[in-house]
């Protein structure tokens, strides 16, 4: 007989991402300090807890203060039912493996150690599926919880099967024996359409039973369930075990000659101690049947009561879950420590236990007459409240509480809809608000309590492979522990996987057509994000969690922390009079240190990946340019910031070859500063093409106006960063690329468009430029060079809108004039040039193929281009 710590028995090599847990009682502090910590250490991110509504109400507001992870790392929901919600289930799911832990213990310190509890474990993976059907039936039972929850809690349940291949198939027949081995079968019994009593009688023949052992802390006072066993077989011998002075005994039952009451304390198991705990409570529920020399064992959550088992015509008011196993092993009681020299005991009237249970039962009955809160989600101060109202109340007061149970604010709510939206007072932010409850006009409670879920944090717990990769990447980026190509590879992989995640369906005509799978924010490409319908609230929430936003926020946090750290180091150096050894230079060296590559082949492959990353981005920008009424938003800003950051990070960055020193690794650069301006394999070409394509986008689009403070401030901050980074990089290009006849004008026209659309540089832009240069590897240009260029742009950009060299074109922004047509005074068309248009190798310029019509602002194909297209058609 071995006692094990429940979660420590999870295999070390297991790869689980989700945990669904049910419980009657829930101890928040035990869960966060013991269970949650262990689950996270094993890689589990998506964690959902479902508890009895009545018991949860007793904890919320009294035991929820000082919690660190409530509603951010896990969700907890009350489950309404007629009696008690009593199952004790833990289902762990990974992509190719699942584990079911089922038993008698609640999520409390008692249920996970102090009490005498019994659990059973079933496991399956892609290579061993013997126990899988039983686990799939348990999952089917858990999915039924979706009827009682809404919002992100419901979504989190759906994430489990979406990311576990073994749970995507459903079983058809319930409550049947599954063969686990030659000597072991198991079936699941639970109160659903039918009750456990009826399910049990279909699987075993009580008429042939000779002996029953019952171990339970709670019985019907009148022994009703024990009498049911006698009704099925009046010759059966029943041994019922009671713990003195604890639980509820069948003290009102007349003792027959075939029933024997024994003291739990006389069993071998009762004498087992843990950490010197002497007074351990019996909480296991075990029913041991001997039938025709065969052994059946039922254990799980049901106590020895009619409320738990039900009867022939009665389901049982409690929600219960149990496993019935069929064994050849007749020594199972000995193995469990349930043997011993049994001592007779007389059932007691444990009045205190009876009183407590009676009060709980009354509260459960009262809850049936209340409004049911099914979920509350907080999206940065915007609450979505899900309810089920079968009462006569048409309106009520929704009280918002903090985690200590103090009311923060109240809202009068109409109860005619099952989905209610309210906005919290700004002072009551996500960290302050804890739970909600409905009150009537007399401040009488008329609903259960419901914990407020922090939507933004819980989105991060999505267990999809892509989201786990994103969260890992974000974590590495924040700490600066990422590898130099991690971000590029992440986005390139998403783009590549887009095609493989398409599924074929048969259309009405019998042909095959492709249908795009739904994507989560973590694996949605930038192209999919810009095509996403942002009008619905759900889509707005998805886009706010998009991978571009998360990746950029992580990058920015790292640079912010790095700047703060360097500033603190500089202060320390000054105090130590050691400024010549300033750690600022050490910090800069770390930011722009050479990149090690194994070989020239590896280097070229990485250069191709960088170019592919830039090319995918430009393709997406071209799609935006071709669309109508597009609004540039935070996803667009974040994606551009990521692209520019990596252009800055790779350009002029020295490369050291590990294996092929003969190639002169010290002179190699990841991206050369100069190169073919129509290509993306160099700093100058990439910058002109990227910013040119971006000017195409914002010249015919509007900036999205956000109506909530969070997104409004985020958009303003992003726009400031976008403007600075575009102009700072262009200043480097202009000073570095001086030999090309058009380079200066290309830089100017892009800069003027940026200043016109995004506004003038802020007064403190010089400070931002100083910080910017800490991340620059291009040595030929310095801070003062850029500062001079930026000052000139700042002065000149307005004047150039009236210059003959430039023309402000509708939907195209400011462009350079190549020529007016006709060339006389009656000018009707303009041949315009600007980075962002296709590069013409003959004219060595970025020329728009169509002519711009001055009067209408429309584009018209030139005769030359028309003739070229005709020649192409003929050659084809």
Higher pLDDT, 165 or 70: 165
Displacement of CA 25 from its chain's centroid (Å):
26
| Percent of the chain at pLDDT exceeding 70 | 87
Left if phi > 0, otherwise alpha if psi is -120 to 50, otherwise beta: which for 187? beta
pLDDT at 537: 56
Instruction: Residue 500: count other Cβ atoms within 10 Å of its Cβ.
Output: 7
Return the exposure string of 63-86: e unless at least 16 CB atoms fall within 10 Å of the residue's CB, then b.
bbeebeebbbbbbbbbbbbbbbbb
Question: What would the mean pLDDT of 149-162 be, rounded to a whole number?
Answer: 93
Question: What would the mean pLDDT of 431-455 be, rounded to a whole number?
Answer: 92
Residues 520/467, Cβ–Cβ less than 8 Å: yes
CA distances (Å), origin 489, targets 442, 470, 605, 606, 866: 60, 12, 12, 9, 41
Query: Per-residue confidence at 501, pLDDT binned at 50, 70, 90?
Result: low
pLDDT at 508: 42
Residue span(s) of the chain under CATH 2.60.40.3580 come to: 370-458
Question: What would the mean pLDDT of 783-792 be, rounded to a whole number?
Answer: 92
Length reported for the chain: 876
The CATH number that domain 178-351 falls under is: 3.30.870.10
Determine the topology of domain 7-167 in CATH.
Answer: Endonuclease; Chain A (3.30.870)
Measured distance CA(2)–CA(274) in Å, rounded: 11
Query: Per-residue confidence at 445, pLDDT binned at 50, 70, 90?
Result: very high
Question: What would the mean pLDDT of 791-811 be, rounded to a whole number?
Answer: 83
Q: Kindly report, residue by residue over 466-491, the tens digit of the pLDDT.
A: 888 887 888 788 777 778 888 888 88
Query: Per-residue confidence at 460, pLDDT binned at 50, 70, 90?
Result: confident
Measured distance CA(790)–CA(166) in Å, rounded: 59
**pTM of model > 0.85:** no
Residue span(s) of the chain under CATH 3.30.870.10 come to: 7-167, 178-351
Q: Kindly report, residue by residue over 681-712, the tens digit of the pLDDT.
A: 999 999 999 999 999 999 999 999 988 788 88
Question: Which listed CATH number (3.40.50.11810, 3.40.50.150, 3.40.1710.10, 2.60.40.3580) goes with 370-458?
Answer: 2.60.40.3580
Question: Which of 400, 309, 338, 318 has the alpha carbon at shortest distance from 84?
Answer: 318
Q: Kindly report, residue by residue over 612-663, the tens digit of the pLDDT.
A: 999 999 999 999 999 888 999 999 999 999 999 999 999 999 999 886 555 5
Rounded to 10 deg, the angle between the 709-736 and 783-796 helix axes is 110
| Percent of the chain at pLDDT exceeding 90 | 54
Strands lying side by side in the sheet with 178-181: 178-181, 184-190, 321-327, 294-300, 286-291, 209-215, 237-242, 259-263
Q: Where would I find the H helices in 631-742?
A: 634-650, 683-700, 709-736
Q: Kindly report, residue by residue over 515-550, the tens digit of the pLDDT.
A: 444 556 766 777 777 666 555 555 666 667 788 888
Question: What would the mean pLDDT of 128-142 be, rounded to a whole number?
Answer: 96
Measured distance CA(48)–CA(461) in Å, rounded: 10
Residues 600/658, Cβ–Cβ less than 8 Å: no
Residue 429 clears pLDDT 90, i.e. is over it: no
pLDDT at 310: 95
Displacement of CA 557 from its chain's centroid (Å):
20
Measured distance CA(853)–CA(196) in Å, rounded: 81
Residues 149/137, Cβ–Cβ less than 8 Å: no
pLDDT at 574: 58
């Amino acid at each position: 007989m071995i006692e094990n710590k429940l979660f420590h028995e999870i295999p070390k090599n297991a790869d689980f991402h989700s945990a669904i847990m049910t419980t009657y009682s829930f101890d928040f502090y035990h869960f966060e300090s013991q269970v949650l910590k262990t689950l996270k250490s094993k890689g589990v991110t998506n964690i959902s807890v479902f508890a009895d509504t009545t018991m949860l109400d007793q904890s919320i507001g009294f035991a929820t203060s000082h919690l660190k992870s409530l509603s951010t790392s896990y969700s907890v929901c009350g489950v309404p039912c007629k009696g008690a919600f009593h199952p004790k289930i833990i289902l762990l799911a990974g992509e190719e493996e699942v584990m079911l832990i089922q038993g008698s213990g609640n999520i409390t310190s008692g249920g996970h150690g102090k009490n005498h509890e019994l659990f059973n474990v079933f496991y399956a993976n892609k290579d061993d599926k013997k126990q899988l059907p039983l686990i799939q039936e348990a999952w089917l039972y858990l999915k039924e919880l979706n009827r009682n929850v809404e919002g992100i809690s419901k979504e989190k349940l759906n994430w489990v099967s979406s990311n576990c291949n073994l749970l995507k198939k459903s079983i058809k027949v319930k409550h049947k024996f599954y063969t686990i081995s030659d000597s072991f079968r198991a079936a699941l019994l639970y109160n659903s359409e039918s009750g456990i009593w009826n399910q049990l009688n279909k699987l075993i023949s009580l008429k042939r039973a000779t002996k029953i052992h019952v171990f339970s802390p709670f019985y019907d006072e009148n022994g009703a369930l024990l009498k049911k066993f006698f009704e099925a077989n009046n010759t059966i011998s029943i041994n019922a075990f009671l713990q003195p002075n604890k639980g509820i005994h069948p003290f009102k039952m007349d003792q027959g000659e075939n029933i024997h009451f024994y003291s739990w304390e006389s069993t071998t198991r009762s004498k087992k101690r843990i950490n010197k705990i002497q007074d351990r409570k019996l909480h296991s529920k075990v029913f041991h049947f001997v039938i025709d020399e065969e052994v059946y064992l039922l254990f799980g959550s049901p106590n020895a009561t009619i409320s738990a088992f039900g009867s022939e015509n009665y389901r049982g008011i409690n929600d219960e879950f149990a496993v019935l196993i069929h064994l050849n092993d007749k020594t199972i009681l000995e193995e469990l420590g349930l043997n011993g020299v049994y001592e007779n005991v007389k059932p007691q009237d444990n009045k205190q236990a009876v009183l407590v249970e009676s009060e709980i039962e009354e509260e459960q009955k009262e809850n049936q007459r209340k409004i049911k809160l099914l979920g509350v989600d907080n999206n940065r101060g915007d609450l979505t409240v899900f309810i089920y109202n079968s009462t006569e109340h048409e309106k009520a007061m929704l009280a918002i509480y903090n985690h200590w149970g103090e009311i923060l604010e109240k809202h009068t709510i109409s109860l005619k809809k099952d989905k209610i939206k309210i906005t919290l007072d700004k002072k009551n932010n996500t960290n302050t608000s804890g739970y909600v409850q409905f009150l009537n006009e007399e401040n009488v409670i008329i609903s259960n309590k419901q914990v407020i879920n922090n939507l933004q944090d819980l989105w991060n717990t999505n267990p999809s492979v892509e989201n786990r990769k994103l969260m890992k990447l974000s974590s590495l980026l924040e700490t600066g522990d990422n590898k130099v190509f991690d971000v590029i590879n992440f986005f390139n992989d998403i783009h590549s996987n887009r095609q493989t995640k398409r599924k074929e369906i048969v259309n009405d005509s019998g042909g095959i057509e492709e249908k795009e799978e739904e994507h989560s924010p973590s694996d949605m490409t930038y192209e999919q994000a810009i095509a996403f319908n942002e009008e619905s609230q759900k889509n707005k929430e998805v886009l706010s969690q998009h991978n571009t936003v998360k990746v950029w926020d992580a990058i920015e946090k790292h640079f912010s922390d790095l700047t703060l750290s360097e500033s603190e180091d500089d202060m320390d150096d000054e105090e130590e009079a050691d400024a010549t050894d300033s750690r600022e230079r050490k910090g800069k060296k770390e930011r722009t240190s050479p990149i090690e590559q194994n070989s020239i082949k590896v280097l070229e492959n990485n250069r191709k990946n960088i170019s592919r990353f830039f090319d995918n981005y430009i393709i997406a920008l071209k799609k935006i340019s071709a669309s109508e009424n597009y609004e540039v938003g935070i996803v667009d800003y974040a994606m551009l910031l990521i692209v520019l950051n990596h252009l800055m990070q790779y350009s002029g960055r020295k490369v050291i070859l590990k294996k092929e020193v003969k190639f002169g690794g010290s002179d190699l650069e990841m991206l050369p500063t100069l190169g073919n301006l129509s290509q993306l394999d160099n700093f100058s070409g990439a910058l002109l093409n990227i910013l040119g394509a971006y000017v195409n986008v914002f010249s015919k689009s509007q900036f999205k106006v956000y109506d909530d403070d969070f997104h409004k401030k985020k958009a303003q901050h992003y726009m400031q960063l976008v403007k600075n980074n575009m102009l700072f990089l262009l200043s480097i290009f202009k000073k570095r690329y001086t030999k090309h006849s058009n380079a200066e004008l290309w830089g100017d026209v892009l800069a003027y468009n940026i200043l016109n659309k995004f506004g003038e540089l802020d007064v403190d832009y010089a400070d931002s430029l100083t910080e910017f240069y800490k991340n620059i590897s291009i040595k030929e240009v310095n801070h003062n060079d850029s500062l001079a260029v930026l000052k000139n742009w700042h002065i000149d950009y307005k004047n150039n809108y009236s210059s003959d060299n430039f023309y402000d074109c509708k939907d195209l922004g400011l462009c350079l004039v190549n020529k007016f047509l006709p060339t006389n005074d009656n000018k009707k068309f303009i041949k315009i040039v600007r980075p962002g248009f296709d590069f013409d190798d003959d004219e060595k310029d970025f020329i728009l193929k169509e002519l711009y019509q001055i009067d209408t602002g429309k584009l018209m194909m030139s005769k030359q281009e028309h003739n070229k297209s005709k020649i192409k058609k003929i050659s084809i």
